[in-house]
């Protein structure tokens, strides 16, 4: 056989291969590939007979690759908050109305390296009585076989609190946090992750809008998070299980158990049901909404004007259940939409391990999130 004839043969194989349906040599690639996402969140919570807080939050987020090895991302969210603060525990008994405007933005810059990445991030959030600024640095490093990834991070936030009731002025809260994590591919279908977090905060932790709220000026928090993702070959779905342990120097101990199942369906649809169970013990200085027998409401039992105390229900002992369902659809190669509804309910009587606050009214919340994403 001559060389020319052979050459024609290899070429004929390639041209025959390119005639096969769905086989392309090169996809038509736009020169850059970013994502813009427009979302809307509707949150409302309630206690029996009372609609409390409603939040409407449109958001825009954007991601753009820069020069191959860098990428920049950022987001903007503007919340409208309106509603009544939790009953029983506000300085003004009954449903005091609050109206607030939160503007928040963050930006992150990532540099991709040979076997890892470094991300520097900054975030800014402001309400009319609260300004928060944060900086973070995070790095990841992959093992040679790429089955193990180490992650380490450090962050610092500086918050400024200037409540309108001027119970305090120009208060600060500074928090430094550290994070250490490892992600390990266990089998073809299993990935596990362990993350340890430590937060060291000092400053004003009290709630200026709650009566007799006096909390320690330091707070140490430790979090242990374990995740396990498993691909179910039979259904082609993925289960995601998480367990989170939390403890802090206020005496709060929390356990969270979460489960999600991601099921891809035909035509670009994906359905993700999720359930989350949470239980926590009360802070050591939390008091139930019962009042001193002599002084009466709103004075806590044994009130003598000193000592740490708070009746914030977030520091009470309670249990909570979240049920959610997310549906997403890839419409075409550029557009996708997703929607998520979730319902949350919190009850003192659902606590599992510690003393709770059985007298507290149940808190319910519903969240609806919709987002439209487009690649560009």
Nearer to another protein, 19 or 164 (CB): 19
Binder to another protein among 216, 264, 289, 324 (CB under 8 A)? 264
From 80-88, 167-175, 183-191, 207-215, span contacting another protein (CB under 8 A): 183-191
Nearer to another protein, 82 or 235 (CB): 235
Q: Is 13 in the site for another protein (CB under 8 A)?
A: yes
Paired strand residues for 9: none
Q: What would the x/- binding string for another protein be over residues 276 to 315, using CB under 8 A?
A: ----------------------------------------
Nearer to another protein, 240 or 253 (CB): 240
Residue 251 gets the label, from left (phi > 0), alpha (psi -120 to 50) or beta, of left
Nearer to another protein, 119 or 249 (CB): 119
Q: 10 Å Cβ neighbour count for 21?
A: 4
- What is Dmax (Cα atoms) for the chain? 110
Size of the site for another protein (CB under 8 A): 62
Residues belonging to the chain: 376
H or E element in which residue 372 lies: strand 363-375
Residue 295 gets the label, from left (phi > 0), alpha (psi -120 to 50) or beta, of alpha
Binder to another protein among 151, 193, 270, 367 (CB under 8 A)? 270
Q: Is 73 in the site for another protein (CB under 8 A)?
A: yes
Q: How far is CA 85 from CA 96, 159, 161, 215, in A?
A: 6, 22, 18, 19
Instruction: Give the C-alpha separation, 195 to 223, whole Å.
Output: 8
Paired strand residues for 60: 38, 76
Nearer to another protein, 5 or 294 (CB): 5
Residue pointed to by tokens 């289960």: 239
CA dihedral 323, 325, 326, 327 (to 10 degrees): 180
Binder to another protein among 53, 56, 75, 78 (CB under 8 A)? 75
Binder to another protein among 77, 104, 108, 341 (CB under 8 A)? 108
Q: Is 316 in the site for another protein (CB under 8 A)?
A: no
Nearer to another protein, 34 or 216 (CB): 34
Paired strand residues for 229: 191, 240
Residue pointed to by tokens 């029983």: 88
Which class for 300: exposed (0-12), middle (13-18), buried (19 or more C-beta within 10 A)? buried
Nearer to another protein, 195 or 375 (CB): 375
Q: Is 51 in the site for another protein (CB under 8 A)?
A: no
The phi and psi torsions of 289 (rounded to 5 degrees) equal -75, 60
In the complex, minimum distance from the CB of residue 48 to another protein, in angstroms, rounded to a whole number: 35
User: Is the peptide bond prior to 144 cis by the omega test (within 30 degrees of 0)?
Assistant: no
Q: Is 68 in the site for another protein (CB under 8 A)?
A: yes
Pick out residues in 320-359 that bind another protein (CB under 8 A): 328, 330, 333-334, 336
Pick out residues in 221-260 that bind another protein (CB under 8 A): 231, 233, 236, 238
What are the residues binding another protein (CB under 8 A)? 1, 3-7, 9-14, 16-27, 29, 33, 35, 61, 63, 65, 68-69, 71, 73-75, 108, 110, 112-114, 117, 119, 146, 185, 188-189, 231, 233, 236, 238, 262, 264, 268, 270, 272, 328, 330, 333-334, 336, 375
């Amino acid at each position: 056989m001559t060389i020319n004839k052979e050459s024609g043969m290899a070429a004929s194989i390639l041209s025959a291969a390119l005639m096969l349906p769905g086989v392309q040599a090169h996809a038509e690639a736009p020169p850059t590939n970013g994502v813009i996402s427009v979302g809307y969140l509707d949150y409302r919570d309630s206690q029996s007979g009372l609609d409390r807080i409603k939040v409407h939050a449109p958001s825009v987020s954007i991601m753009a690759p820069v020069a191959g090895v860098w990428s920049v991302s950022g987001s903007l969210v503007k919340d409208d908050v309106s509603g009544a603060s939790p009953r029983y525990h506000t300085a003004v008994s009954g449903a005091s109305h609050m109206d607030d405007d939160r503007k928040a933005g963050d930006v992150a810059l990532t540099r991709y390296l040979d076997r890892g990445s470094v991300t520097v991030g900054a975030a800014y959030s402001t309400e009319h009585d609260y300004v928060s600024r944060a900086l973070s640095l995070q790095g990841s490093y992959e093992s040679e076989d790429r089955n193990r990834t180490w992650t380490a991070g450090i962050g610092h936030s500086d918050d400024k609190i200037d409540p309108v009731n001027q119970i305090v002025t120009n208060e600060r809260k500074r928090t430094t946090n550290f994070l250490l994590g490892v992600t390990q591919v266990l089998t073809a279908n299993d990935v596990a992750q362990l993350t340890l977090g430590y937060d060291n905060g000092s400053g004003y932790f009290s709630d200026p809008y709650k009566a007799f709220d006096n909390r320690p000026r330091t707070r140490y928090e430790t979090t242990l998070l374990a995740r396990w993702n498993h691909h179910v070959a039979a259904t082609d779905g993925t289960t995601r299980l998480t367990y989170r342990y939390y403890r802090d120097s206020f005496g709060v101990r929390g356990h969270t158990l979460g489960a999600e199942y991601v099921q891809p369906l035909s035509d670009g649809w994906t359905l993700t049901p999720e359930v989350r169970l949470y239980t926590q013990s009360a802070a050591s200085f939390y008091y139930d909404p019962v009042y001193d027998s002599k002084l009466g409401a709103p004075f806590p039992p044994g009130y003598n004007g000193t000592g740490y105390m708070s009746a914030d229900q977030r520091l009470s002992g309670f249990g909570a259940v979240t049920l959610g369902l997310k549906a997403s659809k890839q419409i075409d190669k550029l557009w996708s939409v997703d929607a998520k509804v979730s319902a949350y309910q919190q009850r003192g009587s659902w606590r599992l391990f510690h003393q709770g606050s059985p007298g507290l009214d149940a808190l319910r919340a519903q969240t609806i999130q919709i987002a439209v994403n487009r690649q560009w």
